[in-house]
Chain A
Amino acid sequence: DIQMTQSPSSMSASLGDRVTITCRASQDIGNYLSWFQQKPGKSPRRMIYGATNLAAGVPSRFSGSRSGSDYSLTISSLESEDMAIYYCLQSIQYPWTFGGGTKLELK
């Protein structure tokens, strides 16, 4: 199975900060990487697909990038509504696997 190692598991940041969350894949997954945001008591929401493509309706301060087997989700200027747990997902090979999640809190 492909392991997705997500870091950090939690972090705190201030409004306006640039924030980066990373997932490392244990095998080549190409660009079959998505990012999801989940707020308390809500269903997850897809933010990024294909490693770099912004999903419909997602603010442009969110972006995705890839460097080798490392995939990153960046928020260019943190807003209060961005406080949530973020998950990555690889969908190139079954079983599809999620990262462990990153809890983003306000400092």
Chain B
Amino acid sequence: EVQLVETGGGLVQPGRSLKLSCVASGFTFNNYWMSWTRQAPGKGLEWVASITNSGGSTYYPDSVKGRFTISRDNAQNTLYLQMNSLRSEDTATYYCTREGPFAYWGQGTLVTVSS
């Protein structure tokens, strides 16, 4: 059974940093591209970042480019999202997803950016 478990969310002040983790199980992690997608409270879905299976290439929308970094540790079956210079508009539940596309989703972790 495919499982994606996100951790690392919480309350953070504007301008500060936070790093999310997603531990994957139930599939061969290094065979799949992975992504992060977010959902602001009461709003729709927004794709945030994707990474190739080797980690050699990454992709971001303009809204987070230069502030967020997606990475992975294939030996540890773990996906990361480093979020810097956080803004109030980054407040959202962040989901880890496996490509297919978005064939599987984690339960999400809530990030709240507020002073």
Contacts and interface: CB of A to CB of B under 8 A. Distances in A.
Interface of A: 34, 36, 43-46, 49, 55, 87, 89, 91, 94-101
Contacts of B95: 43-44
Greatest chain A CB density within 10 A among B60, B62, B100 is at B100
B46 interface: yes
Given A87-B45, A98-B44, A98-B45, A55 B107 contact: no
A43 B47 contact: no
Interface residues of B, number: 19
Nearest to B43: A101
B102 A89 contact: yes
A56 to B, nearest CB: 9
B46 A98 contact: yes
Contact of B47 (A45, A95, A99): A95
Given A34-B102, A95-B62, A43 B107 contact: yes
Given A46-B102, A97-B47, 17 more contacts: A34-B101, A43-B95, A44-B95, A44-B102, A45-B105, A46-B100, A87-B45, A89-B45, A91-B102, A94-B50, A95-B47, A95-B61, A95-B62, A96-B50, A96-B101, A98-B44, A99-B44
